Structure 1
Amino acid sequence: MTTGYEPLDTPKPVGEDIWIVDGPAIRFYGMPFSTRATIVRLSDGALWIHSPTKLNDQLADAAAALGPVTHLIAPNWIHYAYVHEWQARFPEALAWAAPGVARRAARNGLPGRFDEDLGQEPPDLWVGEIDQMIVRGSNVHREAVFYHRTSRTLILTDLIENFEKANIPWWMRVILPLVGNLDPDGAMPRDMRFTFRKHRDLLREDLERMIAWAPDRVILAHGRWYETNGTAELRRAFRWALNP
């Protein structure tokens, strides 16, 4: 299944010490979803890998060529499925889990382990290089978001999805405008928005913090990411929450 983001399983430079990896498409709710990981090389040379995509020898060798694989980030309750594959190949790497991830993985019988929890502030291992927080307000979706200071890049997972018409089947082109995540007006899917309905004020506070980071770029897990005008894209995508 093509994704529109070939070549796959290949680190592609985004800025200084940061790469994206476009992975194979998966099926979610019967729909093909492109996948994307982000790799950051920390100042000590260690690799920090966000939402690891499915691993193969090509990708493992390419990652190892960039530095030691040290941190594997499962940023929300959906994006953890391939962490165990990376652990098996790089057993010394630490696996970091957003709230709810470890419990869901255990319930689904997934092999592997999670070593550390992700919190509202970065751990000492990447403090000063990558800022982070757990976005508040949802009774279901607890996503860790990150800001890489050197490259001025915000790293999201599912809070914005931005599927391009050219990369999806015709029937998704009919559905996705209703869901609210079709390029060029990609945003948080409407079913996810509903989970923030009682505490939108908390979401708004966290969005304002992201905007204050003033990112130049915004990387997404699904669809076209924003290589420029990152802060403006944030304001556009979240206008429904910022301007009640």
Structure 2
Amino acid sequence: MATENIPELVIREVTPDITIFSKPFARFGILPFGGRSTAVRLSTGDVWVLASTPLTPDTKAAIDRLGPVGDGWGRSAPHVFWKEYPEAKVIGVEALIEKKQAEGLVLDGAYGKDAPDTKYGFEDEIYACYFSGFANKDVAWFHASSKTLIVADLLFNLPGNEQYSKSKTKAKVPIFGKLDPWGSVHKHFVWGQGKDKACVLLSFCPSYLGSVEVEVDFGFELSAMARDAKTVLGWKPERIIMCHGDVIETDATKAWASAYSKYLA
């Protein structure tokens, strides 16, 4: 656990069961993306955590008030975060296995490595969609009872005013000013991050082959990105909590549809 609190950390209760932890974070030391962890209390009383910020004393106290941590997702959270919760199952993606092992953390499960139908214990309340076609191999989470979509790098909503609300550094993104789901920059970014985005022609036969009439039988298989973007759209989220940027409290489904419009067309 971090020995000191972070003065710029903003802890906010989004709902009685969801608390977020927001702080400044500069990507490449330049771009003010902001960082955020999210803790969700399940009906069992256990707490599910997406951790990407340090476990400060204030953070731990707020999480512990929600309940015992049962499950965690820790792409960027340091090993010391999970050391404080030895009973928690820590889930990641296949690409993180070696990295986390080098940090001294053995994942209890990994999307992309485990069978697609693997259940980790929280799926009755938090749905998961693994974006296998996304460059970062990210996961979208959906807390069904609050209709809240929780993501890491799948969606941005910059500037992150809340994350920089206690900082002397400005939240404005250089050059672009903002990076949100409605803008063309975000749409191009999402398209560029897709590594499996081409629909596949399954089969095709012309109406006539020589003098022999045959049936036309063709179809398309959606790309992994289109498939997964449609899955999330089908959840119809009313709120989006992302690691980078301000929480979206209205028109969340429209925001997702806009950001992923190139895949949903």
Question: Alpha-carbon deviation of 1:184?
Answer: 6.0
Match of 1:3 in 2: none
TM-fit CA distance, 1:190 = 4.4
Q: Whose helix proportion is higher, 1 or 2?
A: 1
Quote the sequence identity (%).
Answer: 23
What is the deviation of 1:19?
Answer: 2.1
Partner of 2:208: none
- Hey, what does 2:33 align to over in structure 1? 33
Determine the C-alpha separation between the residues in 1 that align with 2:47 and 2:190.
Answer: 31
Alignment of 1:92-171 (within 5 A): 92-106=87-101, 109-118=102-111, 120-121=116-117, 123=119, 125-138=121-134, 140-164=135-159, 169=170
In 2, the alpha carbon distance for the partners of 1:212 and 1:14 equals 23
Question: Structure 1 90/187 Cα, relative in aligned 2: closer, same or farther at 3 Å?
Answer: farther
The match for 1:193 is 191
Q: In structure 2, how many angstroms separate the alpha carbons of the residues matched to 1:170 and 1:14?
A: 21
Q: Any unmatched runs of 5+ in structure 2?
A: 1-6, 199-222
Q: Flag the 1:196–1:95 CA change in 2: closer, same or farther, 3 A.
A: same
**Rg comparison, structure with higher value:** 2
* Larger relative contact order (CA 8 Å, sep ≥ 6): 2
Partner Cα distance (2:108, 2:247) in 1: 30
Once the two structures are TM-superposed, the CA of residue 110 in structure 1 deviates from its matched residue by 2.0
1:217-232 correspondence to structure 2 within 5 Å: 217-232=239-254
Q: 1:176 to 1:113 in 2, by over 3 A?
A: farther
User: Match of 2:174?
Assistant: 173
CA deviations on 1:171-190 (whole Å, 9 max, x unpaired) are 8430566xxx2576387574
Are 2:159 and 2:177, in contact at CA under 8 Å, matched by a contact in 1?
Answer: no
CA–CA distance in structure 1, aligned partners of residues 171 and 53 of structure 2? 26
- Tell me, yes or no, if the aligned pair for 2:181 and 2:259 is still in contact at 8 Å: no
Unmatched 5+ stretches in structure 1: 1-5
**Distance in 2, Cα, partners of 1:28 & 1:69:** 28
Cα distance, 1:101 vs structure 2: 1.3
Q: Kindly tell me the number of residue pairs found equivalent between the two proteins.
A: 225
The separation in 2 between residues aligned to 1:145 and 1:116, in whole angstroms, is 16
Contact 1:162 1:185 in 2 (8 A): no
Letter in 2 for 1:89: E
Cα distance in structure 1, aligned partners of 2:160 and 2:145: 32
CA 1:30–1:7 in structure 2 vs 1: closer, same or farther (change >3 Å)?
closer
Give the CA deviation at 1:195. Answer: 3.9
Q: Which amino acid aligns with 1:64?
A: D
Superposed CA RMSD: 2.8
CA-CA distance at 1:13 after TM superposition: 2.3
What CA deviation, in whole Å up to 9, does each residue of 1:57-113 have, x standing for no partner? 111112111100121113xxxx3233x12222222222111231122334xx32333
> Under a length normalisation based on structure 1, what TM-score does the superposition of the two structures give?
0.79
TM-score, reference length from structure 2: 0.74
Q: Equivalent residues in 2 for 1:203-218 (5 A)?
A: 203-218=225-240
Question: Which whole-Å CA distance do the structure 1 matches of 2:177 and 2:140 have between them?
Answer: 24
Structure 1 position 191, deviation (Å): 5.3
Kindly provide the CA deviation profile for residues 185-239 of structure 1, in whole angstroms up to 9, marking residues without a partner as x.
Answer: 3875745632425524321111111111111011111011211111111111112
